[in-house]
Structure 1
Amino acid sequence: MSAEYATFGLTPAIRAGGILSGGDHQVHRDFVDFVVDGRPLLFRLCDLDAVSPLASDVPPAIFTAQVRSLLLETEAPLPFGRYIVYGCPDCEDLACGAVTAAIERDGEDYIWRDFAWQTEEHADLERNGYHGLGPFRFRGTDYRTALAALLDGAGGTRRRVLLIGARVALLARLAAALRTIGVGADVAQDADGVPADELRGYSAVVFGRSAGAAQRDAVRRAFAAAGVHVPCVDGLAPVVPLLVAQTEHALDRSPPEQRRLTALSAPLSAAGAVAEIEVTSSCRVRLTAYRVDRLSRTHTHELFDGVLEPGRHRIPLDVKTVRGESYLVARTAGAVRTTPVRRPDRHAGG
């Protein structure tokens, strides 16, 4: 086994929730991802919709037990010293599939080896092993320090957002959609009189298009007076799945340099329409268009669903699906981005 050391770290991550076409939904999960040699370990596993066992929305006692398990302070949950590294984001059933690894001590060092996809009690390394991934040798001091730091605020965190605007019916539908995917939401016309401690419980503010400039400024001042900074989302359109996607992007606390989906734009020109997407590692990307017609009806079009390699990509679009007032949502398992379709400037060049 190689004596070379890999660096070990942790970073905030999400499994992006959302309202999908056909009425399906995907639950939002906050978790802590493992960073190996400066890169999230999950990014080495193409097209995997999974979370680490260090999920922020589990009870503190369970979160603490998971940390102590990775520190090898308790018996391995699977035979032959194997531990779940990534599991199903919707349940804890091994039958759904999980990435597992053998974790062991070698003196002061910790070693992760023999990664595999596992759906039953015993792993078949020959058939389902992630050949070429690991082994990783971590310095014990760095490994223990990173994991032990999680115990100070162990688990129990759930996201909650404040929805501001005059169109109460729309915001009520948005709040219901967010709660469906596991994000708490409250509706209000302003933040006047809300205690500072309550404001500190919000992770983001979403402004509907009906919220005026003075109303938005007053809400921002209320949060500033409470000593808390939260991202503020300006709703693009009265389309619930689009607003949910904008909210999910605002809730992403992962460092920008460690995100998988880093850019989305949709320029429209005389030559046609394209979606420009940038990803930092191989992953599945789904692209959806939402078009609002003159009668304020929403039309949804699934434009692309496939695996993209690292880099910047241009995906041609059918102009009919993005004419008029249109917006795009690009989604991976762990990230989501939104953008309006940009119309050409008729006055450009003169």
Structure 2
Amino acid sequence: MNEFDLYPDDTGGFDVRVDGRFLRDILSEAEEERFPFISLLRRSLSPSVLEMQLRRFCGDAPGEFYPHRVWLYFCPVCFDEGCGGVSVNIQTSGEHVIWSNFCFDSEPEEGETEQGLLEEDDALLEVGPLIFDKTKYLAAVTSLGNDLLGRRRI
């Protein structure tokens, strides 16, 4: 089982920490180069966008392009999903939250399916699956949401 938490990062956002390491650093090692994207969890997001992103982390809202895929990172220059980023499949079941199928991703083309996305060279096969304790995971997401959204329920 992996440890999950959310911490401020050096880009001005909040990043996932897995077993005490920023996920962005784990992805950089897997790619053998500095990871160019920034976290979608940012103070600068409107409250409604931030709340939706946190709900996606909790499994309470579908991903923007595919129901079970959640965007984690995006381009720091244009902040546009069409430019690309990284998404992950998030599943909640019983006592666990499972992150799998990390992938470089962009806005899908007409008729593109999640399966097609995962078959491309953009899959980050070296990372995951990550399995988190659901209670601790939800507590971390809720705590960040309370801090950023002024104690509103996610």
TM-score range, shorter chain: 0.7 to 0.9
Per-residue CA shift, 1:225-281, capped at 9, x if unaligned? xxxxxxxxxxxxxxxxxxxxxxxxxxxxxxxxxxxxxxxxxxxxxxxxxxxxxxxxx
Residue 136 (structure 1) aligns with: 130
Residue 144 (structure 2) aligns with: 150
Q: Please give the secondary structure, in 2, of the residue aligned with 1:95.
A: helix
Structure 1 residue 79 displacement after superposition: 1.8
Residue 36 (structure 1) aligns with: 18
Deviating beyond 3 angstroms after TM superposition, the runs of 4 or more aligned structure 1 residues are none
Higher relative contact order (CA 8 A, sep 6+): 2
Return the alpha-carbon distance in structure 2 between the equivalents of residues 93 and 129 of structure 1.
20
Residue 37 (structure 2) aligns with: 50
Per-residue CA shift, 1:34-78, capped at 9, x if unaligned? 000110000012212211111111122221221111111112222
Structure 1 residue 134 displacement after superposition: 0.2
Query: Which one-letter code corresponds to 2:131 in the other structure?
Result: R
Residue 93 (structure 1) aligns with: 80
Residue 9 (structure 1) aligns with: 5
Q: Please give the secondary structure, in 1, of the residue aligned with 2:135.
A: helix
Per-residue CA shift, 1:8-45, capped at 9, x if unaligned? 01110132xxxxxxxxxxxxxx1110000110000012
CA RMSD between the two structures: 1.8
In structure 1, list runs of 5 or more residues that go unmatched.
16-29, 157-350
Residue 67 (structure 1) aligns with: 54
Would the aligned equivalents of 2:27 and 2:127 in 1 still touch at CA under 8 Å? no
Structure 1 residue 155 displacement after superposition: 5.5
Structure 1 residue 120 displacement after superposition: 3.3
Per-residue CA shift, 1:208-232, capped at 9, x if unaligned? xxxxxxxxxxxxxxxxxxxxxxxxx
**Which deviates more from structure 2 when the two are superposed, residues 52-61 or residues 88-97?**
88-97
Would the aligned equivalents of 1:53 and 1:86 in 2 still touch at CA under 8 Å? yes
Return the alpha-carbon distance in structure 1 between the equivalents of residues 48 and 90 of structure 2.
22
Q: Please give the secondary structure, in 1, of the residue aligned with 2:10.
A: strand
Residue 31 (structure 2) aligns with: none
Return the alpha-carbon distance in structure 1 between the equivalents of residues 133 and 75 of structure 2.
29
How many residues align structurally?
A: 138
Return the alpha-carbon distance in structure 2 between the equivalents of residues 92 and 72 of structure 1.
23
Structure 1 residue 126 displacement after superposition: 4.0
Return the alpha-carbon distance in structure 1 between the equivalents of residues 17 and 54 of structure 2.
15
In structure 2, list runs of 5 or more residues that go unmatched.
29-33, 109-113
Return the alpha-carbon distance in structure 1 between the equivalents of residues 95 and 63 of structure 2.
18
Per-residue CA shift, 1:186-219, capped at 9, x if unaligned? xxxxxxxxxxxxxxxxxxxxxxxxxxxxxxxxxx
Q: Please give the secondary structure, in 2, of the residue aligned with 1:58.
A: coil
